[in-house]
Amino acid sequence: MTERIPLELAALTKTFATPAGPVVAVQDVNARVHEGEFACILGHSGCGKSTVLSIIAGAKADGPGTDRAVVFQAPCLLPWLTVRENVALAVTQASPRLTRAERRARVDRYLELVGVADSADQWPGELSLGTQQCVSLARALSVDPRFLLLDEPFAMLDSLTRFELQDILLQVWEQNRKIVVMVTHDVDEALYLADRLILMTDGPSARVGEILSVPFPRPRARMAVLEHPRYVEFHGRVIDFLENHAS
β-bridge mates for residue 41, sequence order? 183, 198
- Domains (range + CATH), the chain: 1-67+146-247 (3.40.50.300), 78-144 (no CATH)
The whole-angstrom separation of Cα 216 and Cα 170 is 14
Contact partners, residue 60, CB within 8 Å, separation at least 6: none
Contact partners, residue 147, CB within 8 Å, separation at least 6: 6, 7, 56, 67, 68, 69, 178, 179, 180, 181
Question: What confidence tens digit (pLDDT) does each residue in 110-147 have?
Answer: 999 899 999 999 999 999 999 999 999 999 999 989 89
Question: What confidence tens digit (pLDDT) does each residue in 86-110 have?
Answer: 999 999 999 999 999 999 999 999 9
Which is nearest to 192 in space by CA: 150, 155, 234, 158? Answer: 234
Quote the pTM value. Answer: 0.90
Contact 62, 206 (CB under 8 A): no
